[in-house]
Structure 1
């Protein structure tokens, strides 16, 4: 993709984001098994990553990772698609404690690729099995910077994790007219409106 095409897409993304109006979709009631134990989902942000015009005037688009809690335990599954190759090796998925998860994100990359902050949201249900399958699919379903990227994959995993998150009142749509919003815009502007936690530094 040449620079002029990238800038054109960036301009479209900015305009679309400015007029975004989240439309709620019907919530799906969680199953009895899911409702027995709540959970928690987190989005982790590398705000200086993915900068198509380099040192140009536009701000970086940002990059996001995801994490979900195993019910009410201290075990988390977390990961991210960190490359644009579309190959499974570009996605990391692992499991650990809350502290291990935060430490892994904080230390795994350097420079502009560093993860710096996160937001979380408690959920009334947690289907770890379905979320695990969605996470595995995210490593094998390709990559497209504007349609199937780190952010859209994160949201797909959260949809599998809890039907409650299928409502855009709780988890905003990451796309408008099929085009993904920049992770930075989504994290900074849409998640607060959906009452995700205040942003915390890693």
Structure 2
């Protein structure tokens, strides 16, 4: 939904597609991975992050997906509506960004709200999947980045849903409703409460935040 880009999201440009392409498509050697990063198969996992105060109280959503072959690696991002309006034409910047790394790095990127501060994240909730396709998730992000923005049908939430569905075919139908014309706060709460396989919402605070 509508969200200002006055925070540190511009700094995250250094994380974006060139780096991720190297990691996901094999250009990077194992030596560039952080020391001690596990490579054991872990299965797929997706998470929504909720900024409850975003979009004048309607809420804002960020997303994350885990590498099913490496539990220490995630990619994540959001669409933050660069123009701050209800509509952005396809091809124009819509405030989408993407990053990659460990869960700890994700937490420095998606900062928790420890005092009801606007623009920071309040809760998150996750679901496990039988597997996951990071390449498909990133390709879908690229499409979502280029297809503009519309307040109720092409926003932070619907773009995240599209990325999740391409990441894992198991996330379809009632397990991951499309989010059309649904405020992110309602989707994160009432809608996912009825969707099978989703964990309860976790507080996203500096002291907490399990994978």
Per the normalisation by structure 2, the TM-score is: 0.67
Do the aligned partners of 2:94 and 2:148 also contact (CA within 8 Å) in 1?
A: no
Q: Which of 1 and 2 has higher RCO (CA within 8 Å, sep 6+)?
A: 1
Query: In structure 2, which of residues 132, 153, 160 is the aligned counterpart of residue 154 of structure 1?
Result: 160
- Residue by residue, what CA displacement relative to the aligned partner does 1:152-196 show, whole Å, maximum 9, x if unpaired? 00000001100111232x212312xxxx20000000111122231
Do the aligned partners of 2:129 and 2:170 also contact (CA within 8 Å) in 1?
A: yes
Query: In structure 1, which of residues 43, 57, 62 is the aligned counterpart of residue 59 of structure 2?
Result: 62
Distance in 1 (alpha carbons) for counterparts of 2:138 and 2:191: 25
Query: In structure 1, which of residues 42, 48, 61 is the aligned counterpart of residue 53 of structure 2?
Result: 48
1:82 maps to 2:74: no
Could you say which residue in structure 2 is the equivalent of 1:184?
185
Deviation >2 Å, runs of 4+: 84-89
Do the aligned partners of 1:43 and 1:65 also contact (CA within 8 Å) in 2?
A: yes
- Residue by residue, what CA displacement relative to the aligned partner does 1:92-116 show, whole Å, maximum 9, x if unpaired? 10001012112311169x9312112
Distance in 2 (alpha carbons) for counterparts of 1:137 and 1:93: 13
Structure 1 gaps of 5+ residues are: 1-35, 52-59
CA pair 41-99 structure 1, distance change in 2 beyond 3 A: same
Give 1:84 deviation, angstroms. Answer: 4.8
Query: In structure 2, which of residues 117, 134, 138 is the aligned counterpart of residue 132 of structure 1?
Result: 138
Per the normalisation by structure 1, the TM-score is: 0.70
CA pair 143-89 structure 1, distance change in 2 beyond 3 A: closer
Do the aligned partners of 1:46 and 1:64 also contact (CA within 8 Å) in 2?
A: yes
Distance in 1 (alpha carbons) for counterparts of 2:101 and 2:94: 20
Distance in 1 (alpha carbons) for counterparts of 2:43 and 2:191: 23
CA pair 39-46 structure 1, distance change in 2 beyond 3 A: same
- Residue by residue, what CA displacement relative to the aligned partner does 1:33-87 show, whole Å, maximum 9, x if unpaired? xxx9730000000000101xxxxxxxx1100010000114210000000125344
Structure 2 gaps of 5+ residues are: 1-40, 205-211
More helix by share: 1
Distance in 1 (alpha carbons) for counterparts of 2:176 and 2:94: 27
